[in-house]
């Protein structure tokens, strides 16, 4: 087993169509929820200002 390779960090991807989030290295081609070929936005946030929720609050829809 080659354990020397540093694995790619997982990112949080948000479907621009339905808002579903997927945590994976790369965004899927097709959203598993809405079954559309969506654009996935990387909403991963590693900054303390985000409260370590894993999500960038600036990318959340304002209500």
CB of 11 to Zn ion, least distance (A): 16
CA dihedral 19, 21, 25, 26 (to 10 degrees): -30
Residue for token pair 């929720």: 53
Q: Which of positions 26-55 make contact with Zn ion (CB under 5 A)?
A: 31, 33-34, 38
CB of 52 to Zn ion, least distance (A): 25
**How far, in Å, are 1, 27, 59 from residue 45 at the CA level?**
31, 16, 10
Q: Which of positions 2-31 make contact with Zn ion (CB under 5 A)?
A: 15, 17-18, 20, 31
Which residues lie near Zn ion (CB under 5 A)?
Answer: 15, 17-18, 20, 31, 33-34, 38
């Amino acid at each position: 087993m080659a354990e020397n390779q540093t694995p790619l960090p997982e990112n949080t991807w948000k479907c621009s169509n339905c808002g579903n989030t997927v945590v994976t290295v790369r965004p899927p081609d097709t959203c598993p929820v809405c079954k559309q070929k969506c654009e996935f936005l990387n909403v991963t946030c590693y900054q303390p200002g985000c409260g370590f929720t894993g999500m960038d609050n600036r990318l959340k829809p304002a209500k």
